[in-house]
Every structure is written in structure tokens, then in C-alpha cells.
A and B are shown apart, each in its own frame.
Chain A
């Protein structure tokens, strides 16, 4: 099949390597070295999508990252779908499958076009603004319609088969962009010995030198590029990253680079290779050599396929050997764009006319055009394009000297391509990412990077410097300055730059928006932002409606939104707004860009942090046993804790009932290894405990344990646990599983910032110990078979701990209880954990030793009215609210953390929400946790809510449900009834009671 727009020779494509690809279901040929965009143009494909709002046919405008229209869906299988791929940035490979994302059912035959015409009226400028101001329900109505019409691309519904990666770097110089400025900077830096990273978004280094016809040292510029790249490769400290977009520039010289390692090879990475890699770079110095984007002009119907950037025309001809049309009209405000006409002519196609908005253009390129006999129409502009699916002609008219009004009659020219250039916009995006406000320069006719606090150097087009000689010099200077700042001395010495041609250029004209015979509001649509369908008329409307700040105009019109981020449109939009408001562009505001520069895949963001590696998993020493014994697991923080151990076909409730009963009737065992454990030592350890716990610690003797509550300075409970006195200057604190890290940091905070004079040291020992709690009337009998410890009830009392051997290994045994039963918490070095656990089961079979998990633990403790910090507390309850005044000292000499807070006016009210027990009228009914108590279920909604249920279970031991919850003034309402109206219409009636449902005297644990 022919590539009708492909030249027979020239370009950087390899004609020996023919490739086939599919676009919208049709097969096309191309060559290695093509982008999808250049291959589409080579095959004469004009339409690559439909516009967002008006559903107008759209073609390729640009040749790089700034392309707003050719945003494709790529992928030959469901699993490899990638949305938002710019055709101009996707290298062609054999078998590539892509389609337009806009347009339905496809871009050529677009049924949405009809709807789009409705949509245009339905979605006037300010549509988003107005929609979001309405009730949300309206947005839901619109959203489906918009998604369908806009075709925003879609992600795969299957698992991504590829591997992605992340890598961290530290370097002396990060150079962004490998055009002439970046290469010159890199050369200087590499020779200085600095560690350099050079990244460029394109498939090969060279930037504008890949498509220029200017020479260096009298030879094609690409030859110099090859020489430089070859040298850079020899420097061991230089990392070269082609196909790598620096997408974000963050604080303190931190940059993120999105490298597409294999996207040019196929849909899926070759086996064992990483598809994309995110580089996270901390750079000492940054050199931004990001160049500039050509700014198209704003004129009537300037979105018809065939309208392009002038520079893109040159790029397609010179780099890809593709001439994207037959008859060209060029409109320009500057000399540089003449190159497009020269290239077009030299490629053997017809230049209909060069329409120059300046009255009297002068310069080398103008002379070159004249010498080729090209027709130059000075002091004129293209006011309107004819055609719908492709340009068929233009209307041109003379302009006044300022370019803001027509100065003569309209003439029509026939052509199929309109190239336009309003000058260049420096690519300042990265500089903006760190908060630097760009500055307008009249001589550049654009924004350049403003003041920054980053260690940032700029060179070349980003500074508005465009002449090749000056660009090379600036690059070398920036490289040298960055090297010097990074401590690599006088790097610029001995660098000789290649000799660039001298090109005389005339002054460019600051013109953005070409006037029409009709006022803007009635003229054919003049597009400013193609991707968001923002027109000059829309911006004028915004200013008329009173949106005078450019930030407001942008939000009103959606200009600069989406994946485009205003690369082509922002400055033209500001110019239109400024003209409408009768002020200058800098008066209208500035333009700001945010990360990311171009879309980044989630794969690259996630890297290997997905699936099993998404987060850390922590396992206790007995985990294997739990798995082997059929445990189901619950995530508690990063821990995998056994939840319950179902047997046979048991339901969850059946398993819990069995576990609860076995524990209270004989003996159960819980893996409690995950509880936080903090080893506290030092001569002031005891004093420190007294300051952070609400109860007394001064007299706790060695060998004893005590329960403690920890509050914040506001008097609210935030953690609890048992702390044991190991030696006079040595304590072991336990915390909740989830609170371990927070409590340690809390202790350190107070020690380091408030009481550094106290001699105390904290160390996390959670992972050092395996902890197993045996609980139940037969716990003593079982343990006595395995230990040398004297377990006599009067020698080893409740709330004692002892050091001894259990199952032949050294153990700390704590006689503490979270079930209310006779309990021993056995702590052994973690590596012995499984051994001791298995020994306990060897001996425990005759006692029906039953393993239980977190759920039975919850039921058993709830039967006893024991709280769980974080479940029965939420940061707004004091110990008094919990009914735990027994755990609060008023006599400690030091005003401990929480004491003053608890004494605040609001905390001493007697009618706060109190934690109480709740006994349902129907004993079988379990109130859902979170249910809200009310006094009168017949009260009209909204009812007066008294507090919520925090813990609620069915107790097999008691034969009825048990619950705890907050009820306003609950401690003073014992025996009264409250109601729990549920979402399903049921109302549960419950009696306020003491939360200790079982063994209120605590006899069972004192046997």
C-alpha cells in the first residue's frame, strides 16, 4: 500500500524496515523511525479524533508533546490497553493497534456529531463552572453524556501483564532536554567529571537538530549530535535517558522521570524486561533545556484538519520525510516559520502563498523564499479556513499595522494545508512546578521562567533564546555554571562549540488572534484550546460575564484543562482575554503549569508496589501453624492476625460460639504477639511512666504488672495496655497492636522535647517476642505440665509476672487477663514461639485446648466490659466517660499528661456521653455497631441522637447479646431504655446497664 505523502528519500526513517499498524481497524504501512503521527500523515489520514464539545473533526497539529488532538487509545489486547497516548510521541512498531478516543462510533463517521451540535448549545462556555455550582444530581445526569461524547479513553479491565519499576538517583547535574542547549551543557558537565543525568522525551537525542536544515561546522547538525552522544556514552558518570519525560520538578531539586523502556518495541514488554520505569532524582543542580513550543495563530475554523504548526510541517518533512499535504498556505508573524514554506517547496510541493502579518518582513529566510519565487503576501492574515474534514482553501485579508483590524478586502486562496506560526512559547512547565511564577518578556513575546528558589539553570529556547549559535553558547554556560555550583570547578575550559550558521532575522510581531470581518462572537469558531474546545468567543464571553482574572477565565472556559495542560493555548487565551479587557498580557496574569507535564501511567507510578508487594505484611512466629489449622485472617495494621479458626462446615458464628465456650469451660489460646511492646529502662523510667499514664506507678514492685491508660494533653484516651516492672529501673510496656509505633513516638516526643533531664530509654521489642495467652479454668493445669515455675495461686498471683522456663525455653510469664478467666501470657524469644505453641497443643489436647482469634477475643473481653482503645474510644472520650475513674489518679505529684485536659469545663460536665452496657430487650438480637441511640424512635427525623454502639456481639456463654456504646448522660441512666432505629426500619430496644456482663466480682481470674 502506498504512503502517498512519503518522500522517496531523506528523513530519519529506515525505509528498509517496513512496519504495519492498525488505526481505527484499518491497516497502514510505515517505517521504523516513524511516530504513529508521522505514519498517519504519510498515509494521508486527516482525521484523528472529534472535538470534545462540538464534535468537530480534528487532525494532527503538532509533532511533539504539545499535540492536543491526536490522543489515541493504544493496545492490541484488552490487557494492554493504554489511553491518552499522543500519536506524536508513540514510536511505531510492527503490529501496533490504535484508535481515536474521541468520536463514536468512530472519528470519521461520527454519530455524536449530531448530538454534538446539541452539545454545543448544551455545553456553553462556563458549562463546568455552572454545572458544578448546581446540585450534584445535575452533574450525574451530564457525566455519562460527557464521557461518551468526549471519549476520554479507557483503562484496561484486565490485569496489566507488564512489569514496571522505580529507581532512585542522586546526581550532580540533571539536564532536562537533549537539544542543542542540553547537549552543550551535558558535554561541559561530562568532561568535568560530574555525575550527570540527561533525559529527553524523544526516541533519540538532538531535539530541534534532528529536523533542522541548519549546519554545524558546515555539516548536517545531526552529525554533531551523533558525535556528542558517542562521547557522552564514554563517560562513566553520565546516564543517558532517551524516551524519558521529566514529568515533575518538585521541591529541593527532586525530579520524576517517566522512562518508556519498551513502549517502542511492542504492546507488551519482551519477557523479563521492564516496560516503564519511574526515575526519582535528587539533583544537586538542574539545567532546564526544554526548548519552546510553536504557538499557532487563532483564526476562523483554525481547527479544520490540515491546519498545523509551521514548525511541525518542517519536522514531518525533514525528520520523517512526510509532506502532510499538496498545497500550502503559511501564515506567520515571524521569520523562522518561513522554513516550513522553504521545506515544503524543496520537497516538491506547491506553496500557494506565505501570508505574513508584518507590513515589511526582512531577513535571510524571506530572501530565501523570494529567491525560490514563493509568493509573499505581507501585511495580511488568514481570517478563515474553508473545508470540514480537510482544508480546501482560505480567506485572507490585509491587516492594519497593529494587526487588530482588517484593512482591505477579502481574497480567497485554494489550498489543503494551512501552517501558522505566532512565534514560540518557552516550555517553562517544569520551572512552574515548584511554584516559580513566570515572567512576561516583550522581546520574547512569551513567558520565561521567573525567580526560583531551586538550584536551577535555564538554557536555550526556555529562555526565549532561539538562534542556534546563542542556544549552544547558553547551554555550555549553563552547564558550566551548574558544574561550578556543584563543586566541579572551571568546567567550561577547553570546550569548543561547533560553528553555527549566521541567520539574519527580522523582528517578530506580537500577534495572537487574527481579526475577522465579523465580530468574534459571530465569526466562525476561532479555537484557542483545541483539546477543550475553547474559542476566542468563549473567552470574550467569560470576560463579559465578569471573569477578569485569567485563573477565573480558565476555570470558566476549561482552558488549559485535561491532559493538554494548555501547552498550545494558554498564551493565546491570555492574549484574547487581555485584548477583551483592554490590558496587556502581564496585566491579565501569568500562566502556571502543574505536574505532570504529560500523562503518566499508573503502572509507572506504582512500580513494583502492587499485588503482594503493595504493603508490608507482618506475621507472628506462629503464622504457619495458623495457616495449617485453617485460620481466617484479619488485617490489623500491617499484621495478619488469626480472626477465627472454623472447623468443618462451621459458620463464623458457630466457630465463635465454640471458641468462646471452650475458653470459659476449659482453656483457649490466643496468639498475642502483635501487641506493641516497648522496653523502657533508666533510673527515671518509673517517673516517666507516672507522667504518661493516668494512674499511679510509684509503688509498683518488681514482679508486678499494672494496667494503664494513656491520654493526650486534652484528657482524651488514646491508648492502653499493661506495663510490668521487670527491675527497679526496667519496665515492659504493652500497647494496642495498631498503636505501637504511635505510642513509641509519643514517649520519645515528651522525653526529647519536654523532659530531656529524665534518664530513660525506649526501645521497640514487639518483634523480639512471641506471645501466647492461655486462658480458662484449665490454664494452670496445662501450664504446670510445661514449666518449672511455681504456679500456686498465692505465690504467682493475678497481676504478677515471673521469669522461668516454659517447654524448655526461657520465658516471661504474665498472669494478666483480657478474658476475665485465669490467664497466663507466655512470652518467649520469637524464634522459640512455634516450638512452645506446639508443645502447648501436645499437652493441651486433653483439655480441649482451643485456638481462637481476634473475634473471640473481642467477644470474651466484651462480656467482661473491657474496652479496646480505638474501638470503644475515638479521641473524644475521657477515662471518666469510659467509667474508668478507678484508673485516674488525683494525687500524683506531677501533673501527668491528660490531667489538666480532663479538668476542662466541658470535660467535667456530668452529662457527657458515657460508655455503658446495653442489654437488648430481645436477647437474640445483636445491635449493629455504629447504631445510634435515641430516646424516642417516633420523633420525626432528624431525631436527637444520644451516642453510638461501639462493640456488639452475641455471647454464647451468656445466651444473649452483649453490647457497649455511648449514651448521653448514660452513667446516670442505669436501667432506662434507649432505642436504636436502623436503616432497614427495625428499631432495637435496649436497657442501659453495667458493661460488665459476666463475673462482675472478678472471681474467675482469681482462682
Chain B
């Protein structure tokens, strides 16, 4: 069970207070009506499943109800950083 630092509350809390909401940094296309079916399908359904660093959205569901991003290692389950929505990760996989 994870021990998660909420960047909004400024505290570590138990995983039970949070939900994971999937991959982060999936911006909604600004002009959906001009996306092709393929482009919209990519946005809707295509997700990364990396072995290693992953950027995810979480919500402090039973706490402050705010969303934030998390960089997590999917192998070791280490949380490398949490950062607010709109910010970019500082820990990224070597490309």
C-alpha cells in the first residue's frame, strides 16, 4: 500500500485516501471536431504501459479532492515525485 504525498495538502497520506486515474499529460485535443477518427481513438484509448517510470494522475479523493500528477516506477513502485496539474515532470525516463 502506497504512502503518498499530496502536493496540495502538503502531507503524506495512506493510499486508501487516493484514486489513480490513469496516464497523465493526455491533453484533450483543442478542436475535437477536426480530429480524424484515428486521432480521436488514439486520445481515447491508447495508453502507455511502461516498465519503469510512468506519469500518472491521482486524486486525493477523500482528502482535498484535488488532482495531481505522480511519477512512479511501475517495477519498484517507488514514487519519484508528485507535481501539480499543469506542471511538467522533472524525473523522466532516459529516451
Residue numbers of A with Cβ under 8 A of B are 250-254, 282, 434-435, 453, 713-714, 745, 748-749, 752-754, 756, 895, 899-901, 903-905
Instruction: Verify B32–A282 contact, CB threshold 8 A.
Output: no
List chain B residues, Cβ under 8 A from A901. 40, 44
List chain B residues, Cβ under 8 A from A756. 85-86
8 A-B pairs in the complex with CB atoms less than 8 angstroms apart: A251-B77, A252-B1, A252-B77, A254-B1, A453-B76, A745-B59, A745-B65, A748-B66
A250-B1, A453-B76 given. 5 additional CB < 8 A pairs? Answer: A252-B3, A435-B76, A714-B44, A752-B67, A903-B33
* Most B CB within 10 A of own CB, among A252, A901, A905: A252
List chain A residues, Cβ under 8 A from B85. 752-753, 756
Q: How far is the CA of A453 from the CA of B35 in the complex (A)?
A: 43
Known contacts A251-B2, A254-B1, A900 near B32 by CB under 8 Å: yes
Tally of contacts, chain A with chain B, CB under 8 A: 64
B75 vs chain A, min Cβ distance (A): 8
The answer to whether the Cβ of B42 comes within 8 Å of any Cβ in the partner chain is: no
The answer to whether the Cβ of B51 comes within 8 Å of any Cβ in the partner chain is: no
Q: How far is the CA of A753 from the CA of B25 in the complex (A)?
A: 9
Instruction: Verify A745–B61 contact, CB threshold 8 A.
Output: yes
> Which residue of chain A lies nearest to B69 when distances are taken between CB atoms in the complex?
A753
Instruction: Verify B40–A904 contact, CB threshold 8 A.
Output: yes
Report which of A435, A749, A904, A905 forms a contact with B59, defined as CB distance below 8 A.
A749
> Which residue of chain A lies nearest to B31 when distances are taken between CB atoms in the complex?
A895
Number of interface residues of B (CB under 8 A): 31
List chain B residues, Cβ under 8 A from A434. 77
Encode contact with A along B57-69: 1 for CB under 8 Å, 0 otherwise: 1010100011100
List chain A residues, Cβ under 8 A from B35. 900
Q: How far is the CA of A251 from the CA of B78 in the complex (A)?
A: 8
Q: How far is the CA of A805 from the CA of B43 in the complex (A)?
A: 50
A284 vs chain B, min Cβ distance (A): 10
Q: How far is the CA of A753 from the CA of B59 in the complex (A)?
A: 11
List chain B residues, Cβ under 8 A from A713. 28, 43-44
Known contacts A752-B85, A900-B33, A254 near B76 by CB under 8 Å: no
List chain A residues, Cβ under 8 A from B37. 904-905
Instruction: Verify B32–A899 contact, CB threshold 8 A.
Output: yes
> Which residue of chain B lies nearest to A741 when distances are taken between CB atoms in the complex?
B61
List chain B residues, Cβ under 8 A from A753. 57, 67, 85
Known contacts A756-B86, A901-B40, A904-B37, A749 near B1 by CB under 8 Å: no
Encode contact with A along B1-29: 1 for CB under 8 Å, 0 otherwise: 11100000000001000010100000110
Q: How far is the CA of A559 from the CA of B2 in the complex (A)?
A: 31
> Which residue of chain A lies nearest to B12 when distances are taken between CB atoms in the complex?
A282
B86 vs chain A, min Cβ distance (A): 7
* Most A CB within 10 A of own CB, among B43, B67, B79: B67
Instruction: Verify A282–B14 contact, CB threshold 8 A.
Output: yes
- 7 tightest Cβ-Cβ pairs between the two chains A and B: A900-B32, A252-B3, A895-B32, A453-B76, A251-B77, A752-B67, A254-B1
Report which of A253, A714, A748 forms a contact with B3, defined as CB distance below 8 A.
A253
Q: How far is the CA of A899 from the CA of B66 in the complex (A)?
A: 26
Report which of B3, B19, B32, B59 forms a contact with A254, defined as CB distance below 8 A.
B3
> Which residue of chain B lies nearest to A905 when distances are taken between CB atoms in the complex?
B37
List chain A residues, Cβ under 8 A from B33. 895, 899-900, 903
Q: How far is the CA of A930 from the CA of B10 in the complex (A)?
A: 49
Q: How far is the CA of A252 from the CA of B72 in the complex (A)?
A: 12
> Which residue of chain B lies nearest to A755 when distances are taken between CB atoms in the complex?
B28
Instruction: Verify B32–A749 contact, CB threshold 8 A.
Output: no
Q: How far is the CA of A617 from the CA of B76 in the complex (A)?
A: 38
List chain B residues, Cβ under 8 A from A749. 21, 59, 67
Instruction: Verify A282–B44 contact, CB threshold 8 A.
Output: no
Instruction: Verify A282–B3 contact, CB threshold 8 A.
Output: yes
Q: Which chain B residues numbered 52 to 95 have a C-beta less than 8 Å away from chain A? A: 57, 59, 61, 65-67, 73, 75-79, 85-86
> Which residue of chain B lies nearest to A744 when distances are taken between CB atoms in the complex?
B65
B27 vs chain A, min Cβ distance (A): 8
Q: How far is the CA of A745 from the CA of B63 in the complex (A)?
A: 12
Q: How far is the CA of A714 from the CA of B19 in the complex (A)?
A: 22
Instruction: Verify B14–A748 contact, CB threshold 8 A.
Output: no
> Which residue of chain B lies nearest to A435 when distances are taken between CB atoms in the complex?
B76
Report which of B28, B40, B61, B76 forms a contact with A754, defined as CB distance below 8 A.
B28
Known contacts A749-B21, A752-B85, A904-B40, A252 near B76 by CB under 8 Å: no
A622 vs chain B, min Cβ distance (A): 27
Q: How far is the CA of A900 from the CA of B57 in the complex (A)?
A: 23
Report which of A752, A903, A904 forms a contact with B66, defined as CB distance below 8 A.
A752
Q: How far is the CA of A251 from the CA of B76 in the complex (A)?
A: 9
> Which residue of chain B lies nearest to A252 when distances are taken between CB atoms in the complex?
B3
* Most A CB within 10 A of own CB, among B27, B33, B76: B76
A107 vs chain B, min Cβ distance (A): 41
> Which residue of chain A lies nearest to B24 when distances are taken between CB atoms in the complex?
A753
List chain B residues, Cβ under 8 A from A253. 3
Q: How far is the CA of A745 from the CA of B61 in the complex (A)?
A: 8
> Which residue of chain B lies nearest to A254 when distances are taken between CB atoms in the complex?
B1
Instruction: Verify B59–A748 contact, CB threshold 8 A.
Output: yes
Q: How far is the CA of A905 from the CA of B43 in the complex (A)?
A: 16
List chain A residues, Cβ under 8 A from B31. 895
B71 vs chain A, min Cβ distance (A): 14
Q: How far is the CA of A904 from the CA of B40 in the complex (A)?
A: 8
Instruction: Verify B21–A900 contact, CB threshold 8 A.
Output: no
